[in-house]
A and B are shown apart, each in its own frame.
Chain A
């Protein structure tokens, strides 16, 4: 079974621009979560989608948004990029159906650099 895939793997953007990252979950997984990883703040939860609905949201400004499509693929968007948005953005998928199978499987990440 194919794992979680993320595109693109690397991205360089300029301050003020916007960016869209894509995530394809493991087949059959309906929950997709997004995390930001930085050396200073570590791994922080952005949001989670389940069956096209945002189910949970972390403490990030409104510039960070996401969506999920009917095939469970997800995108996240960051508008008006700031230097501090430079990070590794990780997507994770899970079945999201019960406590006994709630483990999340991560993609390789998208490395975003804002200059």
Chain B
């Protein structure tokens, strides 16, 4: 079955540091890949997506590239801010017509000033 493996947290970084959160997946076919972010007490917000190999999703300074050869979708940001502190989830959707999202376990990120 489908699965997503995310790097274990928590991750603590200083403001303006470089961020990488690793994500690898196992899926049949050609899944769509997503990063979601969850702030305390809130639901999930879509951060970025990619639907095919070599696609790069980007939003708010965050980027992730769909790497089919390594089955990865690592999240990166060049300079993090305190406001980026949240829990980040990597997820996949197997194919159209199957809207089920399979999530990783989430990575808690804390940015200190």
Task: Give A contacts to B, CB under 8 Å.
Answer: 4, 31, 33, 35, 42-43, 45, 48, 50, 55-56, 58, 90, 92, 94, 96, 98-100, 102-109
Contacts and interface: CB of A to CB of B under 8 A. Distances in A.
Contact of B103 (A42, A48, A50): A42
19 contacts: A31-B99, A42-B103, A43-B89, A43-B103, A45-B101, A48-B99, A55-B99, A56-B100, A92-B101, A96-B99, A99-B95, A100-B51, A102-B93, A103-B49, A104-B99, A104-B101, A106-B44, A106-B45, A108-B43
Contacts of B103: 42-43
Contact of B96 (A4, A98, A106): A98
A48 to B, nearest CB: 5
Nearest to A57: B100
| Closest 6 A/B residue pairs (Cβ) | A106-B43, A43-B103, A99-B96, A106-B44, A108-B43, A45-B100
Interface in B62-111: 89, 93, 95-106
The A contact surface, by secondary structure, is strand
Contacts of A98: 96
**A48, A103, A107 pick with most chain B CB within 10 angstroms:** A103
Contacts of B104: 42
A103 B95 contact: no
Contacts of A96: 99
A11 B99 CA distance: 27
Contacts of B95: 99
Nearest to B44: A106
A35 B32 CA distance: 18
